[in-house]
Structures are given as structure tokens and as C-alpha cells.
Chains A and B, each alone.
Chain A
Amino acid sequence: MPEKTFIEAIHDAMDEEMARDPSVVLLGEDVGLRGGVFRASTGLIEKYGERRVIDTPLAESSIAGVAIGMALNGLRPIAEMQFADFSFPAFNQIQSEAARFHYRSNGGWSVPLVVRMPYGGGPGVHGALYHSQSVEAFYAHIPGLKVVLPGTPYDAKGMLKAAIRDDDPVIFLEHKRAYRSVRGEVPDGDYTVPLGPAEVRREGRHVTIFAYGYMLHESLRAAEELAKSGVECTVVDVRSLKPLDVKTIAEAARLTGRVLVVHEDNRSFGAGAEIAAIVAEEALMYLDAPVRRLTGPDVPGIGFNHVFEVEFTPDAAKIARAARELAEF
């Protein structure tokens, strides 16, 4: 199986879906001639033309709002927010409109829309306060959306294809550090990965770590390190926050009785709080230690200076320390 980077997987999914289905269009800032600022859409405008690969005006609300209109009239738009941080001008269109169309029309209309957003930061990204935010909690709170954060190139391709074929609005979050640093096997040709089920990436009997996106890889590195000293971790890739795979989360928590939730997003009211609540509701009697969260702090983003990047971001060493403390509790 060929090995590809995360961003190649994103590119291939869009390319293949556009070839397969003429109703798929891509719109966003610089997605055409430039091929996207991260080059996710390189070559697509040459292949599919400027009617289907649309360099939009620099106005995010219009990217989401026009894409919703396209979706209402038979197209399957992929709207790219250049950075997740810039999705907030489009927030109303996503939350009040895309998410509610089907419900508010009692099933009369639907919005098959994918909103792709590069998110997150960390050491070496130098995204600062407005090019490195994690935005998943905002969107995962909204009924009517699906919110996914693949961690591997295999999932990036398979889940993006599933998202494009889905008849509901899907917020598709791509971690910027994963784009070029994460490589993995990606089959050529067609396959999809369902939007919802979590995946157990490693099994171990002492501590269960829940993570997603780039933090999945830091967590797997931590688990590898801990195994050397006899602490065995289960690592669950919670690649979909909406819907959330309650069953797999509960089973994985019961398995070890010691739970660590890792995310880069701010701590309060984040995905970690929801996962911890599910563990409390579904697995409390199995717990041998309090549930622990390791997250980004409650400050408005990752500071530009390298010191701030390191201080803000959870990494394998911090995860290993937290997991070891849990194992020894």
C-alpha cells in the first residue's frame, strides 16, 4: 500500500470525489490557482475548471452561505476555511443555517456540505493567536452538525470521502501539524471510513487515553515510551466528536478504570469535559482513579514565541507523565 502524507490524502479524496461526482465543487480563499495556502487542492482547478474550483472573495460568511445555497440546489460543496480561526465570521451561517435547515424544515431541505478547516498549532507551527486555534468544541455543541477530526492519512481520505457523500453538514477538521509530518498507508482508489465510530489504536491494561487529531500521535508516542517501563496504555482515537461513540468510550474506560483525556483545545467546556461526563455516567463503578484531563490551558491561543508554543501544547512527555501518575494512583 502506498505511503502518503496527511495532506496528500486530503487532496486525493477531493480529487477522486470530484472525478466521481460532477456535483462536487470546492470553494474557498486561494483554493484555485494557488491550490490552497497549504496546497491541499493543488492541480484541481486545472483538472476541473474554475466553475467547480472557486477562488472566492475574502469573506468567510459568504463562503459558508453560498455553499449552503449550492447544497440546497443539488451540489455537494466542499467549503474551505483557510484557517479554522477564520471560520467565526461564518459561524452564524454554519450554526443558524447549515446545522438547522433539515430540522427546521421538518426534513424538507437538507444541506450536504463539508466545511474543511485546518486547525491547531504547537511547536514549530508559529500560528500564534489567530492561526492555531482548536475550534472543535464550538461546533460539536451544535445539533445538526457532524464534527470529525481524523488523525491518520487513511482516515483523512476515507472520512473526507464519507463526509462529501453525507447528506448533512460536516465540519472536517485537519490538524496543521499532521499535514506533512504524519505519514501512513493510504490505499489507491475508493474506500470510505464512517463518520462516528472511534478506533482503538493500541490496547493496554493500565490506563486508557482518549485523543484525536495530532494529539493521537503524541499519545501513541507516550504509550510507546510508557510500555518500556511496564505501563500499558489503551489509546482510543476519538476521531468523531459528533456523533460521539459513547459505546466504545465506555468500554475502553471500563477496561482499565483509569482515564486520561488529551486535547490541544482549551480546557473548559472542551471535548474532554464531555468524554469525562460519559465516563462518569457509563463507567463510574469501574474507575480506580479520578478522570484526568490534559489539555491546552484556558488562554486565548498559542503565543507566537516558541516558549509559548511549548508551554501551551500537550506533548508525548506531558502525556506520559500524566498517564504514569494515573497508573500509580
Chain B
Amino acid sequence: MADWKEAGLTAEDLVGMYRAMLLARRLDERQWVLNRMGRAPFVISCQGHEAAQVGCAWALTPGKDFVLPYYRDLGVVLTVGMTPREVMLDFLARAEGPSSGGRQMPGHYSHPRLRIVSQSSTVAVQALHAAGIAYAARMRGEDSVCYVSFGEGAAQQGDVHEAFNWAGIYRLPVIFVCENNKYAISVSHTKQMAVENVADRAAGYGFPGVVVDGSDPVAVYRAMKEAVERARKGEGATLIEAKVERLVPHSSDDDDRTYRSREEVEEAKKRDPLLTFAERLKKEGLLDDARREELEAEVKRAVDDATEYAEKAADPRPQDLYTRLYATAPAVGGEAAPGA
């Protein structure tokens, strides 16, 4: 594991990072429970990716830097400031949910104040938005950077390559982060690409590509910090590929037993970042069992509170289906009308 002092982190940072990972994991687990109880239609999980996500987000300046996450990035959005209540409101598609007010599936984060940009379900499209956002920031002489993430499956989409190309040509302050968990739903990375690392492709676009151990939040943070510094100085984009494990099926509607051996999943669990990071912190004398239990209790209270709050929150009203289609009201007709 990477040296945290050398990476510029404090002991307090490390415990904070562990807490953020723990919160993401426990919120995610609660979502699965609610789903299996029939109280929530769909879960898309961050489990196994938390170290990569928290490590990346720890290097950003919330509210200043733009965040274009993908659907697994629960650890990212929590770290830059989304609250557990907000996450659960979105998860249960409540009217008050900040991302979409019940319009989008869970995991499609949006939070304008935190500069978390709304996502699509079509993968990889956000890479181009990141390039445009970064172009606009540069044009105004701002030093904000843009984080954009995607899986290794989405890395096969043309939009990612087109975004790399723009970022290379204009030396845009974008940090592309590929969370490579080796599976695009069921399809192995070996059937997605002929090269071993997505990061190798950065060379073809004229900026650095870095491979990091995605189960080590310190290593990820260090790579991200360097990338952010380069971007702020006007030295251009970086592609970071975090090698992670997906600990659960693709989503609550998937059954990974048809394409993944149980032995492989057990092996992956040995790299569970929550366990390996806790062990390390313990070994280094930064997190004893008592403190860890306190954090568990604190996180459980936050998850319970968020669940209770969101379950009681109101659904959108039927008429909300027709609103906020246009920002400038159309010159004739209404915004939208019922179909019949």
C-alpha cells in the first residue's frame, strides 16, 4: 500500500476516508435490504469500488470542481457532500430527491450546488460533457477541474475516445477515471479490449495514463492529487484506471452465478477495500477496534435516519410528470400536456 504521509494525507484524513467508505458501503447494503424486502425497485451498487471513489473525491474541492460520476459512484457523491438523506430520497424516487425528483433510476446523481452533473443511462456520454465543461472553465481562466468516471465497459464507447481527443488537443483540465472491475455486466474485459489496461490508451491522445490499485484509497488519492494539480496548472488531462473488484452482481436485477464462479467472487472479497483498509489503519495504530465500532454505530445511525426520512417523504404528484421540460417557456402551447 502507498505511503500516506508521502501522499500528503494526515491521520485524520485516513480515518475520514475510512468513514466515507464505510458510509457508502452501509448505505449500499441498506439499499439491497430494502430492495429484497420489496420496498425499492432497483439497486446499482458501489460495493468493492469504495476505495477508488473516496480516494478520487478526496482530492477534489467540493462545490468548485465539477463531478460527472457514473452510476456506481456513491462513494464519490457522498465525499463531495451529498447527504445520506439525499441519497436515500433519490434511491426511493421521492419528490424531494435532489437528483431528479423521482424521474431517474437510482445512481443517476445530480446536485447543481455541488456541481455534480446529471447523468444518463447511456454509458460514457458524460466524458464529452466533461470536455465541454473543462473547455468553458479554461476559456474563462478558472482553475476548476472536472472529474469524470466510467467503467471499463463504457471505455469501449466512441464518446470516450472523442472526449480523450478533445482533452488532448486543448489540454483540458479533465481527470478521466476508469473504475475497471473487469465485468461489463457479464462480459469479461478480455472480450471488451485487446490491451491489458484502459490507461494505455491515453498515450494515443497525448496525455498520461496511470494504473492504480483501486483497493488502496491512498494510492488512488496520490494519483488523483497529481492529476488535479496538473489540470489546475493548465498541463492538461490525465486518465486514471483504478483496478477494482465488483463484489456483487451488476444490479439487483442481475444474477452473476451464470457467468462468474463462486470461487472467483470469494477471491475478490479478499481484496474488499473496506476490510484491507481497516486492517492497515489498525496496524498503523490509527484505528483501534473501539473507534471502528464507534464509526459503525455512527454510520448506522445516519443510514437509519436517512432510510426513515426518505421512506416518509412524499412521492411526486402525477402532474409533476409534465413540468420542467423547458427552461425557457415555449412561445406557443404549454410546456407539456397529458397524452390523452
A residues engaging B (CB < 8 A)? 25, 51-52, 57, 59, 61-62, 64-75, 77, 92-93, 96-97, 100-110, 112, 143-144, 146, 166-168, 194-197, 240, 243-247
Contacts and interface: CB of A to CB of B under 8 A. Distances in A.
A197 B332 CA distance: 6
Nearest to A112: B327
Given A57-B169, A100-B120, A243-B333, A105 B100 contact: yes
Contact of B128 (A51, A93, A105, A106): A93
B132 A103 contact: no
Interface in B296-340: 323-328, 330-333, 336
B37 interface: no
A73 B133 contact: yes
Interface stretch (B47-55, B135-143, B190-198): B135-143
B130 interface: yes
A61 B162 contact: yes
A272 to B, nearest CB: 19
B139 A243 contact: no
Nearest to B129: A69
Contacts of A110: 327
Given A65-B129, A105-B100, A75 B136 contact: yes
B112 A105 contact: yes
Interface stretch (B21-29, B101-109, B216-224, B257-265): B101-109
A115 B128 CA distance: 16
Given A70-B135, A97-B122, 17 more contacts: A59-B158, A59-B165, A61-B159, A62-B131, A62-B166, A65-B132, A66-B128, A66-B129, A66-B132, A66-B135, A69-B133, A69-B136, A70-B132, A102-B326, A109-B112, A197-B332, A243-B330
Contact of B326 (A61, A109, A144): A144
Contacts of A70: 132-133, 135-136
Nearest to B167: A66
Given A74-B140, A75-B139, A96-B125, A65 B328 contact: no
A246 B110 contact: no
A105 B110 contact: yes
B128 A168 contact: no
A196 B333 contact: yes
10 contacts: A61-B159, A62-B131, A65-B129, A69-B130, A72-B129, A102-B325, A103-B324, A108-B99, A109-B117, A240-B332
A230 to B, nearest CB: 34
A82 B231 CA distance: 32
Contact of B324 (A61, A67, A73, A102): A102
B252 interface: no
Contacts of B159: 61-62, 65, 93
Contacts of B325: 102-103, 143-144
Contacts of A247: 332
Contact of B336 (A25, A143, A196): A143
Nearest to B323: A107
Nearest to A165: B328
Contacts of A93: 125, 128, 159
Q: Which of A25, A105, A196, A197 has the most CB of B within 10 A?
A: A105
